[in-house]
Structure 1
């Protein structure tokens, strides 16, 4: 864990933020981030039971951004691929509502990348975003694009949910090139979800 002084551009204040990665389920820590998680993802998100199972089976991690002992951001990640194709999936990333737009989301992303590179030697980061043309959809996509993610054109339809999704990727292997092959990226994403939802 590292204490990092972070300059909040919009709030014009200094926050002491600490990044924590949790690999074993902890009810106390979950209680700190549960509100942020449900506030950002009020429906359709993985349940507490599934998240706990992911940690117990070592297929996912929880990450927390902490300010003076209080959680202000959270993320859920998983890994896919092997060796030179090792990728990190960001399943969820959320910042406390009153602090959104302050740069904490970008800070969390930087911590996630550094952790995954150090611990797992990943070559890229993959996310899936809702495919849509509303202002909210475009704001989310633009957040990831500002962070270097490339949007692929393939639109994916899950059988169990009505929303459409697209994959985005951030290469970390020194290349700025991402092949426009969203279907290939969704093979990583689908494999991760399949394992995550498996009961044992």
Structure 2
């Protein structure tokens, strides 16, 4: 089964028409509206990625770069595999290409994600997936004011010098800053 990975840095409605259903299926609550995603790409603060199997889109992701204080970190804002293709190793395959993208295109020192921290079976499965991808879960649980569920930051070091000196609070500074930039001008 031929597999390909593609990245868009400019909005393309034709591709979004294929990728959007995966996004909406996986993120029924808490997803950024399409107009926000479009604005993020138009302003150059995000990229869209897709994994295609036999030419058919089976995975999608939204990433952005948090940079400041002479550091670069890739924020993996959303990642999903189409529900009817889960359990086949495609999520790991797709993520490995996002990891390679973070290193080659952005020279990122780490990849950051946030995952729901409530103790549910679904959240435990997601956490296991990310840890299996090499992520390290932090003990700090963050409560946003605009969503009811708490989140935990996870990070994947990409460079030897990357270290975390707190329980994860500093990672949420980068993640929150990215979210604020996402909604600016909306």
Q: Does 1:117 align with 2:128?
A: no
Match of 2:90 among 104, 109, 118: 104
1:107-135: CA deviation from partner (whole Å, max 9, x where unpaired): 11110111111111101000000001111
Q: Please name the residue that 1:195 is paired with.
A: 181
Partner Cα distance (1:49, 1:170) in 2:
29
Q: CA deviation at 1:29?
A: 0.1
C-alpha change, 1:170 and 1:162, in structure 2 (3 Å) is same
Unaligned runs of 5+ in 2: none
Structure 1 residue 177: deviation in Å?
5.6
State the structure with bigger RCO (CA 8 A, min sep 6), 1 or 2: 2
The partner residue of 1:167 within 153, 161, 184 is: 153
Offset of residue 178 of structure 1: 4.2
TM-score by length of 1: 0.89
Quote the offset at 1:181 in angstroms: 2.5
Once the two structures are overlaid, the 10-residue window that deviates more, 66-75 or 79-88, is 79-88
Q: CA–CA distance in 2 between the matches of 1:63 and 1:94?
A: 10
Rounded to whole Å, the distance in 1 between the matches of 2:68 and 2:141 is 25
Shift of 1:66: 1.0
Which of 129, 143, 146 is residue 132 of structure 2 equivalent to?
A: 146
Unaligned runs of 5+ in 1: 1-14
- Count of residues in correspondence between the two structures: 186
CA contact (8 A) 2:109 2:162 kept: no
- Which residue in 2 is equivalent to 1:53? 39
